[in-house]
Chain A
Amino acid sequence: MNESRMMDTIRLALRAVQAGSAEVSVGYGSSITTRMADNIITQNVRQEGHNLSVSCAYGNRHGGASTNDLSDESIRAVVRRAEAIAKVARPDPEFMPPLPATEARKYLKVEGFVPAVLEATPRALASSLAAAARKVRARKLRLSGAVTSGWYLNARGNSAGLRCFHRSSEVETHMTALGAAGSGWAQESSHDPAGVNVGRVAAEACEVAARAQHPGDLPPGKHTVIMQPAAAAEFMMFVAWAGWDAKATDEGRTFLRGKLGKRIFGPNITLRTDPTDPRCPGGPFDWDGLAMRPLDLVRNGVVANLLYSRYWAKRKRKAANGWPTNYIMDGEGTSVDDMIRSTARGLLITRFWYVRYVDRMIPSATGMTRDGLFLIENGRITRPVKQMRFNANLVETLNKVEMTGTPVRSYMLVPALKIRDFPFTSTTKFG
């Protein structure tokens, strides 16, 4: 699959359209995932797939259909199906016509693809895992984890003449090292294969695991915490997803109602999106071809912008800004070691697990720590403790951030965070 074939498919589909307007997208992905448990490769999967989606409209009646069969006959059939649905659909007052071809001039250059990703093979990934496992076994630990290497193509076109294409790559590895009485974890991800090293991640997981053995008890309650970047990312995702949709906010259905332009977080909190950021490239356009731009969601604790769909933007006379394709939280560059040294008593969190909203309107969330929770006393790590559950008001928590680190790519680009009075409500029976 390549750009040329995808554009041919889009042209063929648009030629078959009899409806008043149409949008067509073609997606393609190729990935290899090699997985290990207890130092043994348990799964090795090579996947490749493509998909054609067509949305047709008669006036503001619209319908969609998709298929993974890209034969000429199938392309025409999926157009007919989308049209058939559109014909019987009811008028949608929020329907927006296709964007004009000129939208393409607004696209920013996003360097999200590194050709070296094409060189990945199941054997190469398996070799890297096997080598890592040999070193881990020598340390009397067991390694579980996976490495994935993939590349993805996204082409779009519409009946107004807009055409867009983007390609991206993604390499990710996460490793859990297990001892007899505790585990450690580490992860790396990048669009560049050179930015991910299975051996390095395995070694880091082992370091955490070695410290995490035989955790002791610690009562729950409010503790100063240092969230490693992966833990901070898991936490911040639930802030980022909590309620920036402008329509829902204007209708009183998110916690940000009446908060635009107001300072609700601490002054050291800035959360934004920038598809061009080379550390975590996003996409240059949204699902309907809308150009994505850098945008502050929170700037120095102030709610800076809401997210407007094209329909709601038109109704409210605002600029449409689509949905972020990446999230970035800025940091002040304090190292985790310095955060630990500055802490009289607190907890170092490797990562979180199973974080879920309790009430989006606060917003509040609960979740567990996982794979290494460590007590800090008088500026140094003294011992591992059993995992804990938190129940936190996310806004209150982001008013208690005392230090921030250098942003690291995990689920999003986020720095380590030192936060006071983080509320743990229960413990579990293991580390």
Chain B
Amino acid sequence: MIHGVVMNELCLRAIGAAKRKGASYADARIVHERHQVIYTEDRRVSDISDSESVGIGVRVIAGGAWGFAATPDLTKAAVEKAAGRAVEVAKASALARAPKGIRWADEPPHHGVFRTPFKKDPLEVPVRDKAGLLLAVADEVLRVRGVKKCTGYMYFTREGRWFANTSGASFESDTVMGVAQYTATAVGPRTAKTRSLEAYPANAGWEHIEATPMLAEARRVGEEAVAKLKGRPGPTGRRDLVLMPSHLALTMHESIGHATELDRVLGMEESLAGSSFATIDKLGKLKYGSPIMNIVCDNTMPHGLATKGWDDDGVAGQRWPVIKDGILIDYQTSREVCHAIGAHRSHGSCRADSWASIPIIRQSNIGLEPGRKTLTPDELIADTKEGILIDGMGSFSIDQKRQNFQFGGDCFWEIRNGKKRAILSDVTYQAITTEFWGAMDAICDRRFWMPFGVGNCGKGDPGQTARMTHGSAPARFRKIRVSPGAK
């Protein structure tokens, strides 16, 4: 039985034990996660399963180095033992510690409770209703001639978190997340093509799924899968790209979000996820993009996937710009690394994916600010002579410094003489990050700004999965190199 007062007492017990064992700093984090996943394949439900996990992670600084230990056992003796193991691990780490130990930025000790605003807990909605929606979608999609397969899934989580540290912080959070998605597959004699629709991942209740026109758009999604199958491949050469928010989310994630994580910039992820071209000597100078490019992190955003009240360093959620008028001006930081850019306070970008994982810098909710001039998507298309409109996410690949990238998409339309024309079967675009963002010459206005999200961002060693929101309005990029991909 999870009881907040008991959880808080166990966290305090753990950090007390760590202190007694010699830790100069300690934090303890109990996380109780509940998940539900539903999969459908055509008109059958292939899997419904619930899962639950609870445990405590104890992180300490001892001997000038980090240690971490975790246990699912929430007895008093077990959490004290975990704290002791964390101190032992830290002392082992001190065999190769930084000469001056760990610098740890101050943060006022926070107290309170953060809760995701929601109306209907998706875990309490009957599974029959949830699966029923996906099956109704499949019925509709499979009516489209040429569509041979419809797969769907829903995933919901509810996470309770209790945190305390030796600086006096003590808080809890209660977050709710949901995502639903389906894919239509059209099969032809030589190949097959897919088209998807997603109720994007959001920290929100079941009402978020209900507000997405999953069923109403099912026929269109199926028809677009068939149109892709029958479409001609995209061109090879340079074209203007009109990128929708559902697509730009991933491009921003890979080419801006990861590149501005300060641990990567400092080389702390060099051996696995990689580093960044946006090094700190370029801070305040690097022309990341065109003057209309403004990138803002916002961990106070309602329904943002990274919005949790406080991060796992105990730092309060904040809103701050990282790119202003096209210039790199800041990073996503943690209490350990923010001093590298002369900051005295972390921006609060440090999160762990479970009680068993150590917090590391993860992307915040990071997005492109809307254009300041009035501009609708229709006006943007009307102003484009020879281009391609891309919706949804597809193939994606980027080098370990976040410079050379290649993206696909979920659906592509040719734009000719200001009009959206036929669907194309295959399009990829390739660019260097700064050249791509430097080619952005128009962004639709605030009315068309939409949040999307990434629900499975991998980073760290051992690997961790994180979620974050990336919002934007449709935007145009001039003369980007495109091709239909390898044949």
Contacts and interface: CB of A to CB of B under 8 A. Distances in A.
B55 A68 contact: yes
A77 B408 CA distance: 45
A53 B37 CA distance: 14
Contacts of A358: 395, 408, 426, 428, 485-486
B447 interface: no
A147 to B, nearest CB: 10
A268 interface: no
Contact of B46 (A45, A92, A174, A429): A92
B192 A368 contact: no
A88 B128 contact: yes
B459 interface: no
A85 B50 contact: yes
A121 B426 CA distance: 51
Given A68-B54, A252-B148, A129 B66 contact: no
A46 B399 contact: no
Interface string A144-176: 111010000000000000000000000000111
Interface stretch (B3-11, B68-76, B340-348, B436-444): B68-76
Contacts of A127: 92, 95
A18 interface: no
B456 interface: no
A46 B127 contact: no
B187 interface: yes
B267 to A, nearest CB: 6
Interface string A72-104: 000000100110010011101110000000000
A41 B51 contact: no
B403 interface: yes
Contacts of A122: 67, 88-89, 92-93
B72 A49 contact: yes
A50 B53 CA distance: 10
A264 interface: no
Contact of B52 (A47, A67, A252, A359): A67
Contacts of B266: 37
Contacts of A392: 486
Contacts of B358: 43, 45
B150 interface: no
B398 A354 contact: yes
A260 B54 CA distance: 47
A126 B356 contact: no
A36 B96 contact: yes
B404 A40 contact: no
Contacts of B93: 34, 41, 43-44, 122, 126
A199 B57 CA distance: 31
B426 A359 contact: yes
B187 A251 contact: yes
B267 A144 contact: yes
Q: Is the interface of B mostly helix, strand, loop or mixed?
A: mixed
A92 B89 contact: no
Contacts of A176: 270-271
Nearest to A55: B49
Given A145-B271, A368-B400, A370-B399, A65 B485 contact: no
B55 to A, nearest CB: 7
Given A33-B461, A126-B96, A362-B487, A44 B67 contact: yes
Interface in B36-92: 41, 44-55, 65-72, 85-86, 88-92
A68 B72 contact: yes
A303 interface: no
Interface string A324-360: 0000000000000000000000000000011111110
A213 interface: no
Interface in B389-430: 395-401, 403-404, 406, 408, 426, 428, 430
A427 interface: yes
B424 to A, nearest CB: 13
Interface residues of B, number: 80
A45 B462 contact: yes
A133 B98 CA distance: 13
A239 to B, nearest CB: 14
Contact of B395 (A46, A142, A356): A356
Interface in B350-380: 356-358, 360
A144 B127 contact: no
B50 A66 contact: yes
A425 interface: yes
A224 interface: no
A429 B51 CA distance: 45
Contacts of A92: 44-46
Given A252-B148, A252-B187, A428-B404, A44 B65 contact: yes
A67 B53 contact: yes
B402 to A, nearest CB: 10
A253 B95 CA distance: 53
Contacts of A46: 68-70, 85-86, 89
B401 A428 contact: yes
Contacts of B270: 37-38, 144, 176, 178, 183
A361 B192 contact: yes
Contacts of A45: 68-69, 89, 357-358, 462
B131 A364 contact: no
A42 interface: yes
A34 B461 CA distance: 9
Given A46-B89, A65-B50, A88 B72 contact: no
B53 A146 contact: no
A367 interface: yes
A273 interface: no
B271 A144 contact: yes
B479 to A, nearest CB: 16
A366 interface: yes
Give the interface centre of A63, A90, A125, A178 by most chain B CB atoms within 10 Å.
A90
Contacts of A90: 44-45, 131, 135
A430 interface: yes
Given A46-B85, A89-B131, A252-B192, A354 B96 contact: no
B397 A89 contact: no
A93 B44 contact: yes
Contacts of A393: 486-487
Contact of A48 (B71, B92, B187, B188): B71
Nearest to A423: B486
Given A44-B93, A144-B271, A428-B399, A391 B485 contact: yes
Nearest to B188: A252
B406 A389 contact: yes
B127 A364 contact: no
Given A37-B270, A50-B72, A68-B54, A354 B49 contact: no
A361 B191 CA distance: 6
A311 to B, nearest CB: 10
B462 A66 contact: no
A423 B483 CA distance: 14
A183 B272 CA distance: 13
B149 interface: yes
A39 B97 CA distance: 9
Given A89-B48, A430-B401, A129 B96 contact: yes
B267 A35 contact: no
When A and B form their complex, which 10 residue pairs have the shortest distance between CB atoms, in order from nearest? Answer: A64-B49, A364-B486, A123-B92, A130-B96, A428-B404, A144-B270, A358-B485, A144-B271, A66-B51, A44-B93
23 contacts: A33-B461, A46-B86, A49-B72, A49-B356, A68-B72, A78-B52, A85-B127, A88-B128, A126-B95, A130-B95, A142-B267, A251-B149, A251-B187, A252-B148, A252-B187, A356-B397, A358-B408, A361-B192, A368-B397, A368-B398, A370-B399, A423-B486, A428-B432
Given A125-B92, A353-B274, A359-B485, 7 more contacts: A43-B68, A45-B89, A65-B50, A89-B48, A122-B93, A144-B268, A358-B426
Interface of B: 41, 44-55, 65-72, 85-86, 88-98, 126-128, 131, 135, 148-149, 185, 187-188, 191-192, 266-272, 274, 277, 356-358, 360, 395-401, 403-404, 406, 408, 426, 428, 430, 432, 461-462, 483, 485-487
